[in-house]
């Protein structure tokens, strides 16, 4: 019977003094989450932590494992982060991106908000399987801008959806069959924003432990300048 291995690691990077990322590995729930917080003072750290706690709470309270439950969990996170931000003046404006995986009998259900991503290796190729909720993806490409124009556009980092900011949350969902050999990377943009896809694939394909892969990925981001916090959760389906 296929088994799902998991490992996660987070690093401040080379510039930031504090880490606003959070991650969760909960094999008993089949739940794996990465969150990239943002906000003044300690807001980002609080937002990412609150979001993960709220997601875990909903999944733990449900015996069902479905996309609907995963969406509900992210909606609960949105409400929780928003409530705390309204109650604490110093935390106003905080929010977080989220990418979450939920294991079912035969699939890994994925849900995302913002620009934290899921990648998967299937048939030997690494591909992004979530869609960024950013100005580049949702506006720039539709305007027909070239890749070069998008890379240098002043709005290239603007998110169009964030957990904790706004009542209406648009959650992107997809799923992957849990077949032997499947490898999945959940990451914040502190990794995929500075390390290109071929390099990610090179590391994830290495026949080494997940902990070693995580180390190499974080080192690659740091060698690229490490301008942001770096968080990875790696999943691998084995026989």
pLDDT digits (tens, 9 = 90+) for 126-140: 999 999 988 676 666
What DSSP letter does each residue of 47-67 carry, written as one string? Answer: HHHHHHHHHHHHHHH-S--SH
Q: What is the mean pLDDT of residues 196-204?
A: 96
Could you list the residue range(s) of the whole structural domain that residue 182 is in? 3-238
- What is the C-alpha to C-alpha distance for residues 199 and 185, in angstroms, rounded to an integer? 13
Q: What is the mean pLDDT of the chain?
A: 92
Number of independent structural domains in the chain? 1
Which SS3 state, helix, strand or coil, does residue 69 take?
Answer: helix
Q: Could you give the maximum distance between any two Cα atoms of the chain, in Å?
A: 51
Tell me the per-residue pLDDT of 55-84, one tens digit each, with 9 for 90 and over.
999 999 999 999 999 999 999 999 999 999
Report the share of the chain in percent with pLDDT over 70: 90
What is the tens place of the pLDDT at every residue in 205-214?
Answer: 999 999 999 9
CB 113 within 8 A of CB 132: no
Supply the CATH number for residue 194's domain. Answer: 3.60.40.10
Using an 8 Å Cβ cutoff, are 5 and 236 in contact?
yes
């Amino acid at each position: 019977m296929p088994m799902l291995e998991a490992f996660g690691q987070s690093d401040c990077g080379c510039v930031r003094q504090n880490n606003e990322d959070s991650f969760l590995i909960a094999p008993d729930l089949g739940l794996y989450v990465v969150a990239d917080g943002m906000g003044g003072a300690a807001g980002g750290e609080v937002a990412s932590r609150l979001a993960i706690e709220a997601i875990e709470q909903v999944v733990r309270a449900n015996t069902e494992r479905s996309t609907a439950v995963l969406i509900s969990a992210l909606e609960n996170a949105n409400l929780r982060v928003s409530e705390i931000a309204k109650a604490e003046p110093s935390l106003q404006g905080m929010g977080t991106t989220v990418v979450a995986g939920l294991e079912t009998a035969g699939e890994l259900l994925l849900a995302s908000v913002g620009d934290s991503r899921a990648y998967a290796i299937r048939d030997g190729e690494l591909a992004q399987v979530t869609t960024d909720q950013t100005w580049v993806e949702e506006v720039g490409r539709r305007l027909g801008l070239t890749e070069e124009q998008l890379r240098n556009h002043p709005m290239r980092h603007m998110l169009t959806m964030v957990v904790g900011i706004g009542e209406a949350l648009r959650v992107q969902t997809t799923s992957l069959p849990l077949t032997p050999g499947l490898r999945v990377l959940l990451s914040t943009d502190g990794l995929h924003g500075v390390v290109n896809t071929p390099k990610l694939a090179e590391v994830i394909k290495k026949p080494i432990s997940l902990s070693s892969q995580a180390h190499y990925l974080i080192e690659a981001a740091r060698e690229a300048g490490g301008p942001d916090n770096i968080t990875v959760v790696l999943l691998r389906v084995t026989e």
